[in-house]
């Protein structure tokens, strides 16, 4: 069986490590980008099945990363879960921009994994 690849875009190394460990324990492969300027490049190279995206990123805002990914043919349909400490008031804006789900940091492991499985259609 081919493992599903999840890309984590977050500038906090602790968050990236924790999410990567959780996802790997549940059978997913992970890749990461630490800033807005490399997120689209890495995503095009890695072609993840799902992207976990923070809003507060060095080099640009996560919302712009989301909008850019939605214009790239190869990534335009890739599910994106926004996982951020940003205010809940952003939820409607990120969903309108093409995100598949919005989660506040820190989510419980069960909430996070449920969102991942939903986004991947599992």
Q: The domain containing residue 86 runs over which residues?
A: 5-119
CATH number, domain at 16? 3.40.50.2300
What is the pTM (predicted TM-score) of this model? 0.95
Residue 86 has a pLDDT of 73
**% the chain with pLDDT above 70:** 98
Q: State the DSSP H helix or E strand holding residue 83, giving kind and residue range, or none if neither.
A: strand 80-84
Mean pLDDT of 30-47: 95
Mean pLDDT of 55-69: 92
* Structure confidence at residue 87 as a pLDDT band (50, 70, 90): confident
pLDDT tens across 19-37, in order?
Answer: 999 999 999 999 999 999 8
Residue 73 has a pLDDT of 87
Domain count for the chain = 1
């Amino acid at each position: 069986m081919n493992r599903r690849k999840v890309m984590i875009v977050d500038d906090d190394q602790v968050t990236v490590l924790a999410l990567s460990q959780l996802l790997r324990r549940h059978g997913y492969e992970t890749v990461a980008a630490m800033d807005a300027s490399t997120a689209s490049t890495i995503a095009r190279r890695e072609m993840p099945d799902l992207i976990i995206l923070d809003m507060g990123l060095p080099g640009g805002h996560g919302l712009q990363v989301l909008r850019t990914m939605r214009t790239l043919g190869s990534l335009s349909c890739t599910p994106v879960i926004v996982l951020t400490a940003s205010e809940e008031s952003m939820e409607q804006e990120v969903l309108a921009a093409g995100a598949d789900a919005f989660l506040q940091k820190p989510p419980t492991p069960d909430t996070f994994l449920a969102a991942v499985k939903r986004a991947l259609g599992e």
